[in-house]
Amino acid sequence: MRLKSWLRHIDPGFFIVLAITWLAVWPFLSRPGLPQATDAELHIFRLHELSYLIRNGEIYPRWAPNFYHAYGYPIFNYYAPLSYYVGLVFELMPKLDAVDGVKAVFVLGLLTAAVGIYGYVRPHWGRLAGYVAAACFVYAPYMQYIDPHARGALAESFSFGMFALALWALDRLRQRVTAWRWVTAVFTTAGVILSHNLMALLLFAMLAAWAVWPWWDGWQDGKREEGAERREEREGKKEEGRGRREERGEKREGRWAVWGALALAVGVAAFFWLPVMLERNAVNLTTLLGAGDNYDFRTHFLSWGEMLTWTRRLDWGATEPAFRFNLGVAQWVLALLGVLFLVARRVRHAGHVLFFALAAALLLFMMLPVSQFVWEAFPFLPYFQFPWRLMGAAAAVLAVLAGAAAAVIEDWLLHRLPRWRGWGTAVLVALPIVLGLPLTQPFPWPDFGEVSTRRMTEIEHTGRWLGTTSTADYVPATVDMIPERNGNVVYGLYEGLPVDHINWAQVPEGTEIETEYVRPLLTRYTVHAPKAFKFRLFLFDFPGWQVRVDGERVETELGRPEGFIVVPLTAGEHEVEVKFGSTPARSLAVGVTFVALFLTLALAWRWRRSALTEGAPPSLQRPDWLVLGSVSLVTAVTIFILSPLGWLHYESTGLTAVAAQHAAFADFGRQIALIGYDTTAETAVSGDDVTVTLYWKAQADLDINYQVFVHLLAPDGFLVTQSDKLNPGDFPTRRWPLDKYVRDVHVLHLPADLPAGNYTVAVGLWVQTEGWRLPLLDAAGAQIGDNQALFTLQVK
Whether residue 611 is predicted with pLDDT greater than 90 in this model: the reply is no
Task: Give tens-digit pLDDT for 453-474.
Answer: 999 999 988 888 888 877 778 8
In the chain, pLDDT over 70 holds for what percent of residues?
Answer: 93
Give me the long-range contacts of 726-730 (CB less than 8 A, separation at least 24): 726/768, 728/694, 728/696, 728/765, 729/319, 729/320, 729/696, 730/294
Burial degree of 347 (CB within 10 A; 0-12, 13-18, 19+): buried
Q: Are 476 and 282 in contact (CB under 8 A)?
A: yes
Q: How far apart are CA 525 and CA 511, in angstroms?
A: 12
Whether residue 508 is predicted with pLDDT greater than 50 in this model: the reply is yes
Q: 245: left (phi > 0), else alpha (psi -120 to 50), else beta?
A: alpha
Q: How far apart are CA 468 and CA 50, in angstroms?
A: 13
The more confident residue out of 735 and 105 is: 105
Tell me, rounded to whole angstroms, the distance of Cα 124 from its chain centroid. Answer: 29
How would you classify the pairing of strands 564-569 and 533-540?
antiparallel
Lowest mean pLDDT among 15-24, 72-81, 126-135, 460-469: 460-469
User: What interhelical angle do 127-138 and 391-416 show, nearest 10?
Assistant: 150
Q: Give me the mean pLDDT over the 73-90 stretch.
A: 96
Residue 731 sits at the vertex; the CA angle it makes with 78 and 366, to the nearest 5 degrees, is 55
Whether residue 248 is predicted with pLDDT greater than 70 in this model: the reply is no
Q: Is the pTM of this model over 0.85?
A: yes
In the chain, pLDDT over 90 holds for what percent of residues?
Answer: 81
Tell me, rounded to whole angstroms, the distance of Cα 76 from its chain centroid. Answer: 16
What pLDDT score was predicted for residue 49? 96
State the average pLDDT for the chain: 91
User: What are the backbone angles phi and psi of residue 264, rounded to the nearest 5°?
Assistant: -70, -30
Q: Give me the mean pLDDT over the 460-489 stretch.
A: 87
Residue 294's pLDDT band (cuts 50, 70, 90): confident
Residue 750 sits at the vertex; the CA angle it makes with 748 and 752, to the nearest 5 degrees, is 155
Q: Are 189 and 166 in contact (CB under 8 A)?
A: yes
Tell me, rounded to whole angstroms, the distance of Cα 569 from its chain centroid. Answer: 47
Task: Give tens-digit pLDDT for 190-224.
Answer: 999 999 999 999 999 999 999 998 754 544 444 44
User: What interhelical angle do 622-637 and 423-435 show, nearest 10?
Assistant: 20
Cα distances (angstroms) measured from residue 2 to each of 5, 7, 8, 731: 5, 9, 10, 57
Helices (H), 559-621: 584-606
CA proximity to 736, closest of 678, 672, 649: 672
In SS3 terms, 180-244 reads as HHHHHHHHHHHHHHHHCHHHHHHHHHHHHHHHHHHHHHHHHHHHHHHHHHHHHHHCCCHHHHHHH
Task: Give tens-digit pLDDT for 316-372.
Answer: 999 999 999 999 999 999 999 999 999 999 999 998 999 999 999 999 999 999 999
Residue 3's pLDDT band (cuts 50, 70, 90): low
Q: Are 777 and 784 in contact (CB under 8 A)?
A: yes
**DSSP reduced 3-state for 520:** coil
The more confident residue out of 552 and 248 is: 552
Q: Are 270 and 592 in contact (CB under 8 A)?
A: yes
Q: How far apart are CA 422 and CA 410, in angstroms?
A: 7
User: What are the backbone angles phi and psi of residue 313, rounded to the nearest 5°?
Assistant: -70, 150
Helices (H), 66-126: 75-78, 82-91, 98-125
Residue 666 sits at the vertex; the CA angle it makes with 660 and 670, to the nearest 5 degrees, is 125
Q: How far apart are CA 131 and CA 406, in angstroms?
A: 9
**350 Cβ partners below 8 Å, 6+ apart?**
342
Q: Are 564 and 489 in contact (CB under 8 A)?
A: no
Buried b (16+ CB within 10 A) or exposed e, 74-106: bbbbbbbbbbbebbbebbeeeeebbbbbbbbbb
Whether residue 433 is predicted with pLDDT greater than 80 in this model: the reply is yes
Burial degree of 204 (CB within 10 A; 0-12, 13-18, 19+): buried
Q: How far apart are CA 232 and CA 244, in angstroms?
A: 10
Q: How far apart are CA 203 and CA 558, in angstroms?
A: 40
Largest separation between any pair of C-alpha atoms in the chain: 105
